[in-house]
Chains A and B, each alone.
Chain A
Amino acid sequence: MLKYIVKRLLILIPIVFGISFIVFAILSFTPGDPVMNILGNGADAQAYEAKREELGLNDPFLTRYFNYIKGVLTGDLGQSWNYNTPVSAELARTIPKTLMMAVLSVGLMLLLGLPIGIISAVKQYSIWDNLSTAAMLILTSMPLFWLGLMLLQKFALDLKWFPATFPTDGMGTWKHWVLPAVTCMASMMASLVRTTRSTMLEVIRSDYIRTARAKGATEKRVVMKHALRNALLPVVTLVGLNFGLLMGGALVTETVFGIYGVGYLLVNAVKSRDVPLVMGSILFVATCIGVVNLLVDVLYAYIDPRLRSQYVTPKKIKGEEE
């Protein structure tokens, strides 16, 4: 198992570097002059040249990329072009909020989504099931920012239950997080409910569930003890996938509620062509996604004994590669 984890971490390295290279290339060959962006149009030629030299823009592309990577490997993510602050400081400022948002919305999604999905499957075609299917369809089909705006309008501006703006510094109170978390998890929860329902339905029809019933087990026992754990695998994937995505910041939710998280940071950096900041955020996101995927696979092995034995036998790991 340990060997497998190490191996997966090693695979992660080229992927992260690949991403950094692709993004660096895209940003470097972008038309337009970043120095002009920073200094404004009226800058004199000397200051312009000095700035270009300072940012290393006069070096060839590959040299610039290697310089950047050298920095990253020594723990230096560079300076933001726009704010003149270290990228790592900007990330440190935004990551807690993004993490908070991810934890809250994934937690909320599990808390609501799992029971709804299970009940829908167990009571298939009941009014409850039809209602939840319809609600989930609407939630998946709804633009998140629209949902966020409506919630903001109703619960913050009309009813004044929650604050409408997020403090620029600090984490705010729990009240600040309710609406963003609900908005953020809406469509994820819908897909969780759908996945849970369909895998539960599939599992409930399987032979071993019939065996459990033939043993005289109660319906509750059949669902909770026999079906749920088998149905959990795709759910774990989905949760991991969403958590990883959220580490990239819920771009839209953060924009709607004005939360200065990684997503917000990234969008602003992209808009202002702040290459080091974009690179730093993307590296962070890619690493997070890779690590979360690894965690999902480890969890998989924990849930499914069939996979566990695969990791133990080295032969099968090789066979698994393709």
Chain B
Amino acid sequence: MAAKTASTDTVKKRSQIKAIWFRYKKNKLAVAGLILLVVLILVAICAPLIVPYEKVVEQNLMERLAPMSGAHWFGTDEYGRDMFARIIWGARYSLALGVGSIIISLIFGALIGAVCGYVGGKLDNIVMRLMDVLLAIPQILMAICIVAALGQGAFNLLIAMSASTVPKFVRIVRSSVLSLKQEEYIEAARACGTGDGRIIYRHVLPNVMGPIIVQATITMAMTILAISSLSFIGLGVPTPQPEWGTILSENKSQMRYYPYLCTIPGIAILVSVIAMNLIGDGLRDALDPKLKN
């Protein structure tokens, strides 16, 4: 009997993922977003194979502000640095910072949120009041304060972005866990004598994952935008490191006569954020078919 339920369970699970994938696959835009993101990630990973890092920082004053050509596909900036190399390596910085900060904040946020939601009581109360306070400041201001404290730099930016995103995830995870605790099937599982651990693992987690993954993708898009904005106002990744927002900031004075120096990094940011938004929307529709239409 037990073996039988276990096997039907796995069948059901697999078919559920399959069904989600089936629905996701139907949304052509979402698939396009996924492909885009995979390409971008590949570019970021393979950056050293495409252009060596020296090209990113190597200044060549003889060739400053060179136009687009076979030698410099995207031209060069005012220090004669190759824009193509900077954009390609920029993918590393922008994507790694975006993905990294989401993963870090997701882990902490989910952990704190799940514990608070499941345990409840005094602990929950104290933590949530703290989160209320943190959520009352706009995320970007929080990140700015943390950057100010830690100093400018890619790694510090990662910490600032992660730390300022944690409260958001804590709240989402906690409220889904709380509402799930009330669900009848959880009560039913408890009535059947299922243990806490198994309930969390079998019933709570799979059901909370959906909305959280969707939120995470959409937040990732916002984070990449925020990172580039911080770099742009001079509180993010410092030059000469090639974060896309930093590149834009470096070249904004050239905008008048060399507009492509600003257009290209802008498009790079735009494309990666669009890809993530498309994935987020696609996932949301695929996970909850009711929401669609």
Contacts and interface: CB of A to CB of B under 8 A. Distances in A.
Contact of B138 (A23, A124, A150, A289): A289
A29 B145 CA distance: 12
A19 B148 contact: no
Interface residues of A, number: 46
A201 B293 contact: yes
B133 A266 contact: no
Contact of A153 (B144, B233, B235, B255): B255
13 contacts: A15-B132, A23-B137, A143-B225, A143-B229, A143-B245, A143-B248, A143-B266, A143-B269, A144-B225, A145-B232, A150-B263, A150-B266, A270-B147
A199 to B, nearest CB: 12
Contacts of B221: 140-141
B262 A29 contact: no
B192 to A, nearest CB: 27
A312 interface: no
Given A270-B145, A271-B234, A153 B228 contact: no
A122 B213 CA distance: 30
Looking at B134, B141, B233, B270, which has the most chain A CB atoms within 10 Å of its CB? Answer: B141
Given A18-B133, A153-B259, A255 B146 contact: no
B26 to A, nearest CB: 15
The 4 closest A-B pairs by CB, nearest first: A18-B133, A141-B273, A146-B266, A141-B274
A246 B270 CA distance: 23
B233 A255 contact: yes
B149 A251 contact: no
A305 interface: no
A91 B45 CA distance: 46
A97 interface: no
Interface of A: 14-16, 18-19, 22-23, 26-27, 29-32, 124, 137-138, 140-146, 149-150, 152-153, 157, 201, 244-245, 248, 251-252, 255, 266-267, 270-271, 273, 278, 282, 285-286, 289-290
Contacts of B151: 31-32
B182 to A, nearest CB: 12
Interface string B24-40: 00000000000000000
A285 B138 CA distance: 9
Nearest to B124: A322
**B interface, size bucket:** 35 or more
Given A142-B270, A270-B235, A286 B136 contact: yes
Given A137-B277, A149-B262, A27 B145 contact: yes
B252 A267 contact: no
A14 B133 CA distance: 8
Contacts, number: 127
A26 B164 CA distance: 13
Nearest to A29: B149
Given A15-B133, A153-B255, A271-B235, A140 B277 contact: yes
Contact of A273 (B129, B137, B148, B277): B148
Given A145-B229, A157-B256, A282-B141, A27 B148 contact: yes
Contacts of A201: 293
Given A145-B232, A153-B259, A26 B266 contact: no
Contacts of A149: 248, 252, 255, 262, 266
A145 B248 contact: yes
B136 A22 contact: no
B278 interface: yes
Contacts of B137: 19, 23, 282, 285-286, 289
A63 to B, nearest CB: 20
B277 A141 contact: yes
A285 B145 CA distance: 14
A245 B228 contact: no
A116 to B, nearest CB: 18
B104 interface: no
